[in-house]
Amino acid sequence: MPAPISADQRRRDREVLLDAAESLFYERGVRAVGMDEIRSSAGLPLKRIYSLFATKEDLVVAMLRRRDRRWRQSMAEHVERFDDPRARVLAVFDWLGLWFEQPGFRGCAWVNAHGELGPSSPAVLDEVRSHKRAFHDQIAALVEAAGSTAVEPVYLLAEGAIVTAGVTGDAASAREARAAAGALLG
């Protein structure tokens, strides 16, 4: 009988699995990637994978949730380097532009997952909506701190820049959205 897996090993396996799934899902899409490919990439047996996540849908939700925390934290760290509230709002678009220029940028992971799984997966849809609400709330806090009521237009500019860059592969949408946000803020 094999030795039981420690809590530390379980956490390490979970992170390795989430890293592999995130890389594959983001690069190729959720439906295009099978569990055998995830197993091979993670170097974990399927039995271990299914002990960590009962279904592929559970794995997708966990991957999106973890990505959300890292993604929004990275943006927050970038904008917090600025003291001026207006500059913080505009820094969101600078951060987006840096993200768009990264090798392997393939648009918004949440929009991509929604496009693939949408209404067929209530759990994924809930996670996508949770991310979008949290991103909206981050934008709202920044815009309101800058003394503006233009929360919705600025949020839509950010979302539009992300989708446009994902479709076109051109980071210019971040600069254009930044200019429009600057005009809205006055």
85 and 146 housed in the same domain: yes
Indicate the average pLDDT of the chain.
96
Please name the residues in contact with 130: beta carbons below 8 A apart, sequence gap of 6 or more. 65, 68
- Cα dihedral 169, 170, 171, 173, rounded to 10, equals -110
Please name the residues in contact with 150: beta carbons below 8 A apart, sequence gap of 6 or more. 143, 181, 184, 185
Select from 28, 54, 80 the last residue of a domain: 54
pLDDT in tens, 25-55: 999 999 999 999 999 999 999 999 999 999 9
pLDDT in tens, 152-165: 999 999 999 999 99
178 and 104 housed in the same domain: yes
92 and 32 housed in the same domain: no
Angle, CA of 88, 93 and 95, to the nearest 5°: 85
10 and 93 housed in the same domain: no
User: The CATH number of the domain where 18 resides is what?
Assistant: 1.10.10.60
Please name the residues in contact with 17: beta carbons below 8 A apart, sequence gap of 6 or more. 38, 42, 44, 49, 52, 53, 59
User: The CATH number of the domain where 128 resides is what?
Assistant: 1.10.357.10
Q: Which residue range forms the structural domain that includes residue 121? A: 61-185
20 and 37 housed in the same domain: yes
> Which of the four pLDDT bands, split at 50, 70 and 90, describes residue 2?
low
pLDDT in tens, 96-108: 999 999 999 999 9
User: Is this model's pTM higher than 0.85 or not?
Assistant: yes
Number of domains into which the chain is organized: 2
35 and 73 housed in the same domain: no
